Structure 1
Amino acid sequence: MQLRPRGLTAALLISAAGAVPALASEELLKNTCSTCHTAEENGLSRISGQRKTPEGWMMTLVRMQQAHGLEISAEDRRAIVQHLADTQGLAPSEAAPFRYALEKDPNAQESFDEPFASMCARCHTGARGLLQNRTAEEWALHMDFHVGHFPTIEYQALGRDREWYKIARTEIAGYLAEQNPLETAAWTDWQAAEKQPVAGDWVVMTDLPGIGEAYGKLTVTGDASPYQVSGEFMTADGTAHPASGQMNLYTGYEWRANLDIGGTAYRQVLALSEDGNSLQGRQFDRSNDALGAPLSGVREGAGSVILGTVPSAVPAGEAQVQVVGTGLDGLDSSSGEAAANTYGAALSLAAEGNGVVTFSTGGAEGQIAHYTSLDSLKVEPEFTIARVGGGSEEGPAAVPAYFNAVGMWNGPDGEAGTEDDVRVGRVEAQWTVANAHEHAAHMKDTEFAGEMQASGIFAPAVAGPNPDRPFSANNAGELRVQAEAMGQQAEAMLIVTVQRFIDPPIR
């Protein structure tokens, strides 16, 4: 069975529509894995000494298929991942620092101390190594695994300049055993904690790349994974984007959903709060995970909660604003009229000049800026990468980059770009790209690397040798992404690089 790495997270953690879900159980695990893994006091050898995220366990099972010939149905595989994630997963606090790797955040930048940075984070994210807990014996065996499966690891850059295996065995294994041991108080407490059922109505807020800021409501039904999800997302102009699909809940808080939203397939990688009343994470296009945005949510009926507003800021004058949240009856606003609705409260404004409207109810507070001018502009993210792609049926698709322009006011010091600046919110901007430096200009990167779209999405060029470039170079390049709005300008750095040919669920 041949699997495409890009689809593992999106497809394998959710059972196919209409398929009968297998029962997640210790018996199924033993029946599937005991041919190679022997029974021990605490379970099966090797398996019992590890804890991982759902993606981590899925990667292990797929490796068993690809490297060791394991034959298993998609339904049984999902059920085993469910069982292992529920019984040998990570506590919310253990996964929290590294969720960017699970969410495939294209703008996350890591920083780790030595020697972990060079020994581990040079080949994959440091998060991948730290999103698992093991016994000291298992961490030592993990070092052996690396040399066995990747024998050239000692001869690669940052490997051949040191005794890699010796350092891995004598320093890294011990460091990880202390940093991420199998048994922790956080995991013991989470296993014992009472968990609220996930079924119910959730008010959510996010951004649909190329479409705009959005809010909505998702209804979860069912008693166990896979749950059914239905609802809709609304944009600021009132357009509805129906949503439907399935969701698996792992470890009591790990929300993984595949949804169709207005005809586009999306993936949600979210985490429930420990009290089960809020959601936080990232939602992205399943065909290209670079096109995504943070998503926050709150359980309907969980008291008075304000997630934010759509739009996030408005030009001065008359405007309709959705205050997104729950329990917002009687919302008191410093300007305009508010009326509760199914997504929180609708706020009608008629504001002049630059200013901020505040609103509150039941202890929940929020605000929205209205503006006639900006003191400065900011491009988010300030630095990211895109990847050329396509050009063949087998090669990876191009990976775009998504930018937003954010208006700013000077703070009390009267200077732009300082810590006391006031964030106004997202504003409409005109987008262009420029060569990042002299060599980029010489290589004509703006001409070959791709094009900037009016939506703020940069679309990279096709991959492969280009005879129109010096030395038939690939269409990589280094660009400055420029935004202009209301007389203000800002820019960000964009590296357009080569394809990623291996793309596992945790990079």
Structure 2
Amino acid sequence: MWTKTSCLSAAILLAAGGAQMAHADAQLLKKTCGSCHSETDNQLSRISGQRKSPEGWMMTIVRMQHQHGLQVSVEDRRAIVQFLADTQGLAPAEAAPFRYALEKDPNHVETFEEPMASMCARCHTGARVGLQRRTADEWLIHMDFHVGNYPTIEYQALGRDREWYKIAREEIAPYLAAAYPLETSEWDSWQEAEKVPVAGDWIVITELPGVGEAYGRLSVSGDASPYQVAGTLMSADGQGRSVSGTMNLYTGYEWRATLDIDGQDYRQVLAVSEDGTTLAGRQFQRDHDSLGGSLRGVRADQPGVMLGTVPSAVPAGSATVQVVGSGLDGLSASNGSASANTYGAAVALETEGNGFVTLSTDAGEAKVAYYTTIDGIAVDPAFTIARIGGGSEVGPEAVPAHFRAIGLWNGPDGAPGTEDDVRIGRVNAEWTVTNLHEHAAKMEDAGYAGQIDDTGIFTPAVAGPNAERPFSTNNAGELTVVADAMGQSGSATLIVTVQRFIDPPIR
């Protein structure tokens, strides 16, 4: 358990060792980059005028390798990314609006105002811009970089409808310099803030593709990156899955873990709260980042914190619900009996009909639904894309999509499909795909684009021309995904599109 005294002692030790490491990494940066970037007042040109996320710095270094012949070992590259992210990163508040891009959330739909939407977010996410901070001069140079690196930018289909370069320099660069400046109060405050050591035990709630809702306990050990991570994740049926791997902590809060979970490789892209007590982000399969789910965590020594329940809703009758959290020794339930355990507390229920069980601690309340009937189903996400793939040694693999069925009750107005509908939680469903519209039916998209399994995972078909289809077109298609459960049905839209051949860490 981390006490204030132990945190302070650890912080002092880390500060002493960290100063030596920081000096060594600063020298490594100069040695690696100084032959091209001139040094003035102990600062390297171009580099000193920017701040980025860990992924942003990694992309920059890899570009230097590919386009300018930079020679750097994997170990040194990691050390430089660590140093730059720690000293020229983003404050938690600066990164927060754009975390969906770092977490590779496949279902987030961006909205940016003009002219940035057309000038920047046509070719890459707007988040890629928002995850940088630069001086006004650097933003101007960045406009020139685009023309130099992509000389046809004003003649491409998405650029020739405007004077791209003129607008970029006269409108976009000044806008970005004001919206995303190098010097900010958020970064100054974060640099001065005391960083809480990340080592210790964390209680987490998440989901595993093909398995469902899950919870567990992760133990982090070590004094600096890479930390060691070990633990267990439990599914709703009580089956445990071992977790092991490593985690790098950047900028004092950016958690990046590579884990083996029961033989499957996973990545975690999480943010530690500024007070060091909670975690939030996304966990996904390393080879298929579209397959994953949100992850939230809390330090195991925090009092009275409830993250959620597994399952999120239960059929009426006899059931055991795991209340996931920390410090739940005093948990009480409006129905059934609660007993604390290593993941929070288990509650044994005996229920009838439809309703909620209220869970209470001194720190607050939460509810879990029980049901005999439902009034409807919402399919999450309501809209997403998948990508055909495979079929060759060089092409990208298929990108699957993951759907969940959420049970609904009509709200106080008694009408379905209105704002007061109550989402009760995950329900088991039967999954099918149909053609989205008349043209999709004519092209037989549902027969060619891919298949969905009984866990809601859609696997797209192989890429490439298909002689069985009109015009020998590929296996892309437009589909309706249908979930049926307990006499109710819900649907979502799925676009199965072509491959993504260039897939950088920040899209």
Scaled by the length of structure 2, what TM-score is found?
0.95
Aligned residue for 2:6?
A: none
Kept in 1, the 8 Å contact 2:313–2:426? The answer is yes
Shift of 1:42: 5.5
Kept in 1, the 8 Å contact 2:22–2:83? The answer is no
Shift of 1:159: 1.1
Alignment of 1:235-246 (within 5 A): 235-246=235-246
Kept in 1, the 8 Å contact 2:313–2:368? The answer is yes
Aligned residue for 2:123?
A: 123
Instruction: Please give the secondary structure, in 2, of the residue aligned with 1:353.
Output: coil
Aligned residue for 1:11?
A: none
Instruction: Please give the secondary structure, in 1, of the residue aligned with 2:117.
Output: helix
Aligned residue for 1:337?
A: 337
Kept in 2, the 8 Å contact 1:24–1:83? The answer is no
Kept in 2, the 8 Å contact 1:22–1:75? The answer is no
Shift of 1:25: 1.7
Aligned residue for 1:494?
A: 494
2:398 maps to 1:398: yes
Write the distance in 2 (CA, Å) between the matches of 1:131 and 1:262: 33
Kept in 2, the 8 Å contact 1:387–1:496? The answer is yes
Kept in 2, the 8 Å contact 1:481–1:493? The answer is yes
Write the distance in 2 (CA, Å) between the matches of 1:213 and 1:286: 19
Give unmatched runs, 5+ long, in structure 1: 1-20
Aligned residue for 1:285?
A: 285
Tell me the matched-pair count: 487
Question: Taking every aligned residue pair, what percent have the same amino acid on both sides?
Answer: 70
Distance 1:437 1:23, change over 3 A: farther
Aligned residue for 1:171?
A: 171
Aligned residue for 1:410?
A: 410
Aligned residue for 1:56?
A: 56
2:145 maps to 1:160: no
Kept in 2, the 8 Å contact 1:22–1:79? The answer is no
Shift of 1:127: 0.3
Aligned residue for 2:73?
A: 73
Aligned residue for 1:505?
A: 505
Write the distance in 2 (CA, Å) between the matches of 1:224 and 1:179: 33
Shift of 1:303: 1.8
Report the residue type matching 1:427 in the other structure.
V
Kept in 2, the 8 Å contact 1:52–1:88? The answer is yes
Aligned residue for 2:100?
A: 100
Kept in 2, the 8 Å contact 1:249–1:255? The answer is yes
Kept in 1, the 8 Å contact 2:434–2:480? The answer is yes
Instruction: Output one character per residue of 1:138-167: Cα deviation in whole Å (capped at 9) or x when no partner.
Output: 000000000000011111123111110000
Write the distance in 2 (CA, Å) between the matches of 1:169 and 1:24: 38
Aligned residue for 2:181?
A: 181
Instruction: Please give the secondary structure, in 1, of the residue aligned with 2:397.
Output: coil
Aligned residue for 2:193?
A: 193
Report the residue type matching 2:170 in the other structure.
T
Alignment of 1:356-505 (within 5 A): 356-505=356-505
Q: Which has the higher contact order (CA 8 A, sep 6+)?
A: 1
Aligned residue for 1:46?
A: 46
Write the distance in 2 (CA, Å) between the matches of 1:120 and 1:196: 37
2:120 maps to 1:114: no
Instruction: Please give the secondary structure, in 2, of the residue aligned with 1:137.
Output: helix
Instruction: Please give the secondary structure, in 2, of the residue aligned with 1:288.
Output: coil
Kept in 2, the 8 Å contact 1:214–1:235? The answer is yes
Instruction: Please give the secondary structure, in 1, of the residue aligned with 2:289.
Output: strand
Aligned residue for 1:226?
A: 226
Write the distance in 1 (CA, Å) between the matches of 2:405 and 2:229: 32
Give unmatched runs, 5+ long, in structure 2: 1-20
Kept in 2, the 8 Å contact 1:481–1:491? The answer is yes
Instruction: Output one character per residue of 1:109-140: Cα deviation in whole Å (capped at 9) or x when no partner.
Output: 00111110000000000000110000000000
Report the residue type matching 2:252 in the other structure.
G
Aligned residue for 1:354?
A: 354
Write the distance in 2 (CA, Å) between the matches of 1:470 and 1:166: 44
Aligned residue for 1:273?
A: 273
Distance 1:76 1:22, change over 3 A: farther
Instruction: Output one character per residue of 1:249-304: Cα deviation in whole Å (capped at 9) or x when no partner.
Output: 00000000000001100000000111010000000000110101000000111221
Kept in 2, the 8 Å contact 1:52–1:89? The answer is yes
Distance 1:23 1:210, change over 3 A: farther
Instruction: Output one character per residue of 1:378-428: Cα deviation in whole Å (capped at 9) or x when no partner.
Output: 000000000000001111000000000000111111111111111110000
Write the distance in 2 (CA, Å) between the matches of 1:255 and 1:469: 46
Kept in 2, the 8 Å contact 1:231–1:244? The answer is yes
Write the distance in 1 (CA, Å) between the matches of 2:324 and 2:125: 35
Aligned residue for 1:15?
A: none
Shift of 1:340: 0.4
Scaled by the length of structure 1, what TM-score is found?
0.95
Shift of 1:22: 11
2:216 maps to 1:216: yes
Kept in 2, the 8 Å contact 1:230–1:243? The answer is yes
Report the residue type matching 2:153 in the other structure.
I
Write the distance in 2 (CA, Å) between the matches of 1:273 and 1:43: 31
Aligned residue for 2:17?
A: none
Instruction: Please give the secondary structure, in 2, of the residue aligned with 1:405.
Output: strand
Write the distance in 2 (CA, Å) between the matches of 1:293 and 1:459: 17
Kept in 2, the 8 Å contact 1:22–1:76? The answer is no
Kept in 1, the 8 Å contact 2:256–2:270? The answer is yes
Kept in 2, the 8 Å contact 1:229–1:245? The answer is yes
Aligned Cα root-mean-square deviation (Å): 1.0
Instruction: Please give the secondary structure, in 2, of the residue aligned with 1:153.
Output: coil
Write the distance in 1 (CA, Å) between the matches of 2:159 and 2:398: 31
Write the distance in 2 (CA, Å) between the matches of 1:23 and 1:356: 57
Alignment of 1:24-39 (within 5 A): 25-39=25-39
Aligned residue for 1:306?
A: 306
Shift of 1:364: 3.0
Instruction: Please give the secondary structure, in 1, of the residue aligned with 2:386.
Output: strand
Q: Which runs of 4+ in 1 moved over 4 A?
A: 21-24
Report the residue type matching 1:487 in the other structure.
G
Report the residue type matching 1:28 in the other structure.
L
Aligned residue for 1:132?
A: 132
Write the distance in 2 (CA, Å) between the matches of 1:496 and 1:24: 49
Shift of 1:78: 0.3
Aligned residue for 1:149?
A: 149
Deviates more, 1:151-160 or 1:168-177: 151-160
Shift of 1:434: 0.6
